[in-house]
Structure 1
Amino acid sequence: MRIWKEIGSWSLSIGLAFILSMFIGIFIFQPYKVYGHSMDPTLHDKQRIYAEKWSYTLGNQPDYGDIVIVDSRVERKRTFWDSAREHPLISLLTGDTMDEVFYVKRVIGKPGDTVEIKNAKVFRNGEQLDEPYIKEQMELLPDQTWNVPEDHIFVMGDNRNNSNDSRMIGFIPMDHVLATKGFK
């Protein structure tokens, strides 16, 4: 009889730890791994980062220049179950790694902004951005202009010549902003 009491006590402790871990991973912070070189020189391929999620759980918007983790599947709605499935413990149990859908990028434009690329330089609302964090000058391409819609942001990688970002995938809905880069 005592052994069943002990097993019950351990089961309760493990269950509570699992629930707490899920809560922290879905709403507070979560580890991520950077894949690729789109954020060089700021972040590097295979670098582990911890990202803060609490701000976005509360509905806050990222600021200009923030490094954010976004869900690149912008054509679909996100649900609570997406966040649960992306939790490291659930991914480990299901074997479902979703690393290829998470992009780590920098916020360039917010709702209502006009983002332009002219002569390989980035402008926001007519003013050229001072971007000391970029790896190198962008390749000279045709000029482009985007008007950021409500409830969306425009993101770019720091390695502009090697980044799949809003220039290709489009605007990022605010509910696709998962976290901001926290501490290493």
Structure 2
Amino acid sequence: MSTPATLGYRRRQLPTRSMRHGSACERGAAVPGSAAPGGPHGAVDSGRIRRMRRLMVFLLVMAVAGCGDGDATGTGATEQFTQGGVSMEPTVKAGQVVTARKVTGTYEARRGDVVLLRSPGGLWGDRKAPLLKRVVAVGGETIACCDTSGKVTVDGKPLAEPYVAEDASLDEPPNPNYCGPRRFAAVSVPADSVFVMGDSRARSNDSRCAGPVPVSSVLAVMVD
């Protein structure tokens, strides 16, 4: 296995975590039988059993519906990665090992997720090693910086970002070719895309100068 780039990760396979007790999806559920008991009340009991059977089938269908994939919240194997750069400090420090859950299906974008992504090319370059960034806006939202207090806004509302300890300079004007300034012009995030930034804004190359990332580029979501 080749050594990853400085800002990438070293993959180490981690076995999928098993649940102490099987979930409803794993265990399945028993559906009452259809045989009616004998005796003078057989017809009444048979009606009750049919109603109970319909209810149990409905509950089973609802349980199975909640077991689908398409995100990285409760499904998908986990892997460990070693952060190679400083762009996500102080949340993730250089050299820190993190656990991420692999995306199965299509990533369901959620603001605040710390995601592992592959470079989509273009202004992101042709990096081979994955990148670790935070989702700050999702498809359909408009993100900009800054408001009068220097905060990032999404759809005109300022974001509370306690995870940002080292912000970029407010003195520099926006520069679409350079991620140094904190300020950037409003960006309408396309559908099925995310706008990502590093938590260390002063030391991160991200969507401020490289643009939004397709959700198809998201490989995993950090869980630990």
* TM-score bracket, shorter-length normalisation: 0.5 to 0.7
Q: 1:116 aligns with which of 127, 140, 144?
A: 144
Q: 1:45 aligns with which of 91, 94, 102?
A: 94
Change (3 A) 1:174 1:99: same
Alignment pair present for 1:58 and 2:105: yes
Query: Residues of 1 paired with 2:140 and 2:121: CA distance?
Result: 18
The one-letter code matched in structure 2 to 1:50 is: T
Deviation sequence 1:73-115 (CA, Å, 0-9, x none): 344xxxxxxxxxxxxxxxxxxxxxx986311111101001100
Alignment pair present for 1:146 and 2:171: no
Q: Is the 8 A contact 2:100 2:223 kept in 1?
A: yes
Identity of aligned residues (%): 34
The one-letter code matched in structure 2 to 1:101 is: A
Name the TM-score, length of structure 1 as normaliser.
Answer: 0.67
- Give the 3-state SS of the residue equivalent to 1:108 in structure 2: strand
More strand by share: 1
Q: Is the 8 A contact 2:14 2:80 kept in 1?
A: no
Residue in 1 that maps onto 2:133:
105
Alignment pair present for 1:33 and 2:82: yes
- Number of equivalences: 138
Alignment pair present for 1:181 and 2:215: no
- Give the 3-state SS of the residue equivalent to 2:202 in structure 1: helix
Residue in 2 that maps onto 1:69:
116
Higher relative contact order (CA 8 A, sep 6+): 1
CA shift, 1:61, in A, is: 1.1
Q: Is the 8 A contact 2:81 2:100 kept in 1?
A: yes
Q: Is the 8 A contact 1:74 1:173 kept in 2?
A: no
- Give the 3-state SS of the residue equivalent to 1:57 in structure 2: coil
Query: Residues of 2 paired with 1:151 and 1:22: CA distance?
Result: 29
CA shift, 1:41, in A, is: 0.6
Q: Is the 8 A contact 2:107 2:216 kept in 1?
A: no
Larger-Rg structure: 2
Alignment pair present for 1:135 and 2:165: yes
Query: Residues of 1 paired with 2:205 and 2:84: CA distance?
Result: 12
More helix by share: 1
Query: Residues of 1 paired with 2:14 and 2:223: CA distance?
Result: 19
The one-letter code matched in structure 2 to 1:39 is: M
The one-letter code matched in structure 1 to 2:162 is: P
Name the TM-score, length of structure 2 as normaliser.
Answer: 0.56
CA shift, 1:29, in A, is: 2.0
The one-letter code matched in structure 1 to 2:206 is: D
Residue in 2 that maps onto 1:86:
none
Query: Residues of 2 paired with 1:99 and 1:30: CA distance?
Result: 20
Structure 1 residue runs without a partner (length 5+): 1-20, 76-97
Residue in 2 that maps onto 1:161:
202
Query: Residues of 1 paired with 2:208 and 2:129: CA distance?
Result: 16
- Give the 3-state SS of the residue equivalent to 2:140 in structure 1: coil
Q: Is the 8 A contact 2:136 2:197 kept in 1?
A: yes
- Give the 3-state SS of the residue equivalent to 1:116 in structure 2: strand
CA shift, 1:170, in A, is: 1.4
Query: Residues of 2 paired with 1:149 and 1:52: CA distance?
Result: 25
